[in-house]
């Protein structure tokens, strides 16, 4: 250890200087020890918390295996028909190219910014009530809902009327299709709800359809609340994951509405 003596000061003054330096070093050492102890304590608590998470998760039951259609927007109509719609350009392509088969019905709005929605017929005649619910579902997942439109135009068509081949001089972007021929027209006023069905799936769609398959649901309205905030309330009331609640909501800002049951609706 090197000791530097200041020759301009006395032996006593040099000794006092080193004494003060020693006291400061001791205080720093004690502070460092306390910081290390505190950090170790925090790390131990954090490790214990991480170890507890799987136990809390298992206590709620096994993780449910998702059905293939949950990758899309989806709902079951009140007549029991599966309806699926694209979430973006990529899933719009998949819905039409892979899942729209002969006998199915396809829905889209008259304005851009809408998913293509397919009603799976499974070889059965699709009733008017299901078609109307599919039109409602299409409207609520469209840009028109997001913009606050109170009435939205939707059309229905057959799969053989939908093509990826553009008209001469036009360009067909990803997720877009040309629909040719006569179409069924629907004018709908948005009505939407989110609930949890008997299988534990979080279903968002027309209120009539959701209440057919879910004992309890909540109406979702056009509004200015953040979707993430509404999803948290849904997650709390329906005891579902927040991410599942968020995926079931229409696009854009929304408003948390009433608690609904098959027999009655009450303010929440």
pLDDT at 132 over 60: yes
The maximal CA–CA distance of the chain, rounded, in angstroms, is 108
Q: Does the residue 177 lie in any domain?
A: yes
Helices (H), the chain: 11-59, 89-99, 128-140, 143-146, 207-213, 227-238, 242-248
Domain boundary, last residue among 172, 189, 206: 189
Domain boundary, last residue among 189, 206, 223: 189
Segment 4-35, tens digit of pLDDT: 665 676 766 666 666 677 777 777 767 777 77
Range of the domain at 257: 191-268
Assess whether 154 and 47 both reside in one domain: no
Q: Does the residue 135 lie in any domain?
A: yes
Per-residue model confidence (pLDDT) at position 11? 64
Assess whether 181 and 208 both reside in one domain: no
Q: Does the residue 199 lie in any domain?
A: yes
User: Which position has the higher pLDDT, 44 or 143?
Assistant: 143
111 confidence band (pLDDT: 50, 70, 90): confident
Q: How far apart are CA 141 and CA 254, in angstroms?
A: 12
Which candidate, 191, 189, 187, 202, places its Cα nearest to that of 257? Answer: 191
Domain boundary, last residue among 154, 189, 224: 189
59 confidence band (pLDDT: 50, 70, 90): very low
Assess whether 48 and 85 both reside in one domain: no
Assess whether 175 and 196 both reside in one domain: no
Mean pLDDT, residues 181-191 taken together: 93
User: Which position has the higher pLDDT, 28 or 119?
Assistant: 119
Q: Does the residue 4 lie in any domain?
A: no
Q: Does the residue 5 lie in any domain?
A: no
pLDDT at 56 over 50: no
Assess whether 99 and 181 both reside in one domain: yes
Assess whether 135 and 88 both reside in one domain: yes
Assess whether 226 and 263 both reside in one domain: yes
Assess whether 130 and 159 both reside in one domain: yes
pLDDT at 232 over 90: yes
Assess whether 36 and 135 both reside in one domain: no
Q: Does the residue 268 lie in any domain?
A: yes
Q: How far apart are CA 166 and CA 172, in angstroms?
A: 6
Assess whether 184 and 195 both reside in one domain: no
| CA 208 distance to own-chain centroid | 22
Q: How many domains does the chain have?
A: 3
Q: How far apart are CA 14 and CA 18, in angstroms?
A: 6
Assess whether 200 and 169 both reside in one domain: no
Tokens 């304590």 sit on residue? 41
Q: Does the residue 1 lie in any domain?
A: no
Assess whether 116 and 200 both reside in one domain: no
pTM over 0.85: no
Q: Does the residue 68 lie in any domain?
A: no
Per-residue model confidence (pLDDT) at position 17? 66
């Amino acid at each position: 250890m090197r000791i530097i003596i200041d020759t301009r000061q006395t032996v006593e003054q040099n000794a006092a200087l080193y004494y003060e330096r020693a006291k400061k070093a001791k205080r720093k050492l004690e502070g460092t020890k306390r910081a290390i102890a505190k950090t170790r304590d925090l790390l131990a608590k954090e490790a214990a918390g991480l170890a507890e998470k799987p136990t809390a998760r298992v206590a709620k039951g096994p993780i449910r295996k998702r059905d293939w259609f949950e990758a899309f927007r989806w709902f079951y109509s009140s007549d029991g028909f599966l309806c699926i719609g694209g979430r973006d350009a990529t899933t719009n392509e998949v819905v039409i190219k892979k899942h729209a088969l002969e006998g199915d019905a396809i829905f889209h709005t008259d304005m851009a910014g809408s998913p293509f929605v397919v009603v799976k017929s499974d070889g059965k005649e699709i009733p008017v009530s299901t078609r109307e619910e599919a039109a409602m579902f299409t409207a609520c997942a469209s840009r028109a809902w997001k913009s606050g439109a109170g009435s939205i135009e939707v059309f229905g068509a057959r799969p053989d009327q939908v093509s990826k081949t553009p008209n001469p001089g036009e360009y067909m972007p990803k997720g877009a299709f040309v629909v040719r021929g006569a179409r069924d027209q629907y004018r709908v006023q948005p009505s939407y709800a989110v609930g949890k069905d008997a299988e534990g799936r979080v279903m968002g769609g027309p209120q009539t359809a959701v209440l057919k398959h879910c004992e309890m649901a909540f109406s979702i309205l056009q509004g200015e609340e953040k979707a993430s905030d509404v999803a948290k309330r849904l997650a709390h009331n329906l005891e579902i994951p927040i991410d599942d609640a968020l995926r079931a909501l229409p696009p854009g800002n929304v408003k948390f509405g009433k608690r609904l049951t098959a027999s009655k609706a009450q303010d929440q």
